[in-house]
Amino acid sequence: MSQKAKFNQMKFNEKPVHWPTLNTVLMVEETLKNMDESVITIAELKRKLPRQVNHNTLMIILEYLEKSGKILSGIRGISWVYTDSKILREWVKKGTEI
């Protein structure tokens, strides 16, 4: 089963064993935001995290980050896509809708 299929099987409605704390979510977010590579696998992410995170907890965090538009998950791995650029937001506001 691919990483994407496993990732999509998790549901917020299910009661996981471990709910992530805010500190854990922020730690994963900062690690993904500051990574050198454009794509990272879940195994590589686990190795780069400053503290060990339960796999199910990490999957919940990644699902939250994907639903909030901060990451994209694909066959090759995970990519940070969120930008907090004021210039980009202005361009989007001024842009023409198609």
> pLDDT, tens digit, for every residue of 49-71?
999 999 999 999 999 999 999 99
Global pTM reads 0.72
Work out the pLDDT band at 9, boundaries 50, 70, 90: low
Please write the tens of the pLDDT for every residue from 36-52.
988 999 999 999 999 99
Q: Which domains does the chain have, with CATH numbers?
A: 3-94 (1.10.10)
Query: What per-residue confidence (pLDDT) applies to 94?
Result: 82
**Residue 10 token pair:** 């998790």
Q: Does the pLDDT value for residue 6 go beyond 90?
A: no
Cα-based distances in Å from 67 to 42, 51, 52, 54: 17, 24, 23, 20
